[in-house]
Amino acid sequence: MTAVPATRPTSRFLLAHPAHLLALGLGSGLSPWAAGTVGTLWAWAAFLVLQPWMNDARWGLLLLVALPLAWWACSVTARHLQAGDPGCIVIDEIVAFWLVLWLLMPAAWPEQLLAFVLFRYFDAAKPGPVGWADRLYHAMDPARTPRGWAKAGWGILLDDLVAAFCTLFLLALWRSL
């Protein structure tokens, strides 16, 4: 497939490749405003819908499969968009927030909302270790580095996974008080 430089992909781009469909969170990444927030809200809704049929082992297996699929989808989609970390890619938020919810549950609505707010803060503001993880891979030009797009795909995921762990750390501290 030829590269399609685009800042805002369309539904045609979304359906042009399975990686696009995954990376753009089944369309939630097409949101014209705050795609990362919309993707995280989609993750939360999907988690709650799936929850009745899931147990810890199934969530663990889903995340184990989702991580390499997300890496692949991020790498392919970023390459096709010719961008290191396009804002429309939201599978990173989805997988990372599923991890937060899986480890947080059971939790009441206010605690889930707090998890959402903390995760969005860490993902958007990128304080401390989240900023370090973001800079680690985004300083390179993936087009000029051997296997650069694969590294860019991992970089897209890494800062969100660090944001998830920071969120979980603060929630664990809060629960211990």
73 contacts 23 by C-beta, under 8 angstroms: yes
Nearest to 5 by CA among 82, 74, 87: 82
Tens digits of residue pLDDT in 7-53 = 589 999 999 999 999 999 999 999 999 999 999 999 999 999 999 99
Two structure tokens written together for 119: 């995760």
Q: Please state the pTM of the whole predicted model.
A: 0.91
116 contacts 139 by C-beta, under 8 angstroms: no
Confidence of residue 4 (pLDDT cuts 50, 70, 90): very low
3-state secondary structure of 96: helix
Higher pLDDT, 122 or 142: 122
Two structure tokens written together for 162: 């660090």
Residue 62, Cβ density class (10 Å: 0-12 exposed, 13-18 middle, ≥19 buried): middle
